[in-house]
Amino acid sequence: MSNRTPSPHNVPMESAIPLAFTASWAAGINPYLLVLMMGLLGRFAGWDVPPGLERVDVLVIFAVLAVVDTIADKVMYVDSVWDAVNTVIRPIAGAVVAALIAAPSVDIPTVAIAAAGGAVALVTHLAKATTRLAVNTSPEPASNVVVSVAEDIAVAGVVVVAVVNPWVAAGIALVLLVAACVIALLLVRAGKSVIRWRKNGLGSRNIAE
């Protein structure tokens, strides 16, 4: 009998679903860090993850990608280009990871779990990308670095919490997702107001001249 810690591959549905949601949320922010952490937890902490994630070559590749993401995500404007590149990658990663987590133990069709995971990752990604575009309007780079570090810490922290209590982790991920969406919408609305104000100001100035 295996002595490995209960994980997405052998937990019942009530645990697999929150784990899949948490992983999908994390994939929407940093899928490379997510996969790297899952592989490391499986290899060194006894967490029973999909075997392929524990392979040395996979760990090395995702470690390199995680480093690239960490650097690119903290450079002003480069982060937005990186987000654009990841618009397809993050939702796909969320769908794949959610399917890998849920398929062995959930009766719901895998395609439904994968679709839900992709949707969660996409929404998370869009909220992240929108917020980062707004942050890039700041003249100093410090705010960009702070936001990026906070995102990395949030992903790592929630994944660790998921090992202990999947439902608590899912709750935290849900709160963070809703908060990110609200902030992104507020920033978009504020941006539109600024653009409208500038247009009106410029129009008034031209009339006066």
Q: Give the separation between CA 147 and CA 62, rounded to whole angstroms.
A: 22
- pLDDT tens, residue order, the chain (209 aa): 344 444 445 555 667 788 889 999 999 999 999 999 999 988 888 777 777 788 899 999 999 999 999 899 888 888 888 988 898 899 999 998 888 887 766 566 767 777 888 889 989 988 888 888 777 776 666 777 888 889 899 999 999 998 888 899 999 999 999 998 998 888 878 767 766 666 665 555 555 55
CA 71 to chain centre: 16
Q: Where are the domains of the chain?
A: 13-180
